[in-house]
Amino acid sequence: MVLVINLNASIDKRYRMADFRKGEVMRVREVDNTPGGKGIHVANVLGILGEDCLATGFLGGRSGEFIKDRLQEYGIRHDFVDIQGETRSCIAVVDDEGCQTELLEPGPLVSNDEQERFLGKYAELLAAAQVVVASGSLPGGVDKGFYGRLVSLARRSGDKPVLLDTSGEALLQGIEEKPYFIKPNQDELAALLGHDVQSEGEIADAVRGFLAKGIALVAVSLGADGCMAGYDGRICKVSVPKIKCKNPVGSGDSFVAGIAAGMMRGMGIEDTLKLAAACGTANALEDESGFVRRENVEKLFGQIEVEWAL
């Protein structure tokens, strides 16, 4: 089982309209409401791939109930801690030219008691997990070292590998506990290092640095150009085919789902990276974030190229 942690879930609202003008009253042509948050995207893609997974984290209020109901409809197993605060909403405004503007709420305040209840549940769920995915931002009241604590607990529970996908101080502190996998984009990488990282050579050097810290697998997203990855002391470039992108949001989450699926299937590192890149690319073909079509993933898998550096 893949245990997927989403501490700051959301209702993702997608507004479609002719254009978006600041300071004016505008009418929305079409609205989509879907369960969101990086971890929930990961769980959704894992389910589509046929992998056994369970989602956990914090949910509260009517928004939380909506997410639970939708996950039930999707066939995604879940075991969330109920909190007093209301789960947030995140809004994406998409105009007819394809320009997307995102408004991300910060999330509810989670009490110390609620956090302790989650940690108890997490310890129980770890017993049945082979892989742990921890994705997304932290809600209010949760210390920036919380993900690091989850990595440490997973290590003590049978050395379970943790795929950590977050940013900022939460990622910086999480890295200190040596998760199995991280996937910063170039901006996040620059924030971690404290300086700009532009060339592939600079990215490769940064990846080697994280490998030296004890992180087994590192992938740095290059957007439409694929990613640079490092594993077992080696660096590779993962190239993806050119596509007509509909919506890139959720492609990183889909990539993480592909990594987890590859690990569950016992794939070698090269095929695992190909599966991850195929999932990330397949997501970009869809309007919905954190969604892929299995046939697209299978087709794209054969078009992904992995080139190892000497």
pLDDT tens track for 272-301: 999 999 999 999 999 888 999 999 999 999
The helix or strand, by DSSP H or E, that contains position 306, with its residue range, turns out to be strand 305-308
Confidence of residue 310 (pLDDT cuts 50, 70, 90): low
Pairwise CA distance, residues 88 & 185, whole Å? 25
pLDDT score of 265: 98
pLDDT mean over 35-59: 97
Cβ within 8 Å of residue 51, ≥6 positions away: 2, 260, 261, 264
Q: What's the pLDDT tens digit per position in 57-98? A: 999 999 999 999 999 999 999 999 999 999 999 998 988 887
pLDDT score of 67: 97
Q: What's the pLDDT tens digit per position in 221-236? A: 988 889 999 999 999 9
Pairwise CA distance, residues 247 & 100, whole Å? 9
Global pTM? 0.94
> Largest Cα–Cα distance in the chain?
57
pLDDT mean over 235-239: 96
Confidence of residue 35 (pLDDT cuts 50, 70, 90): very high
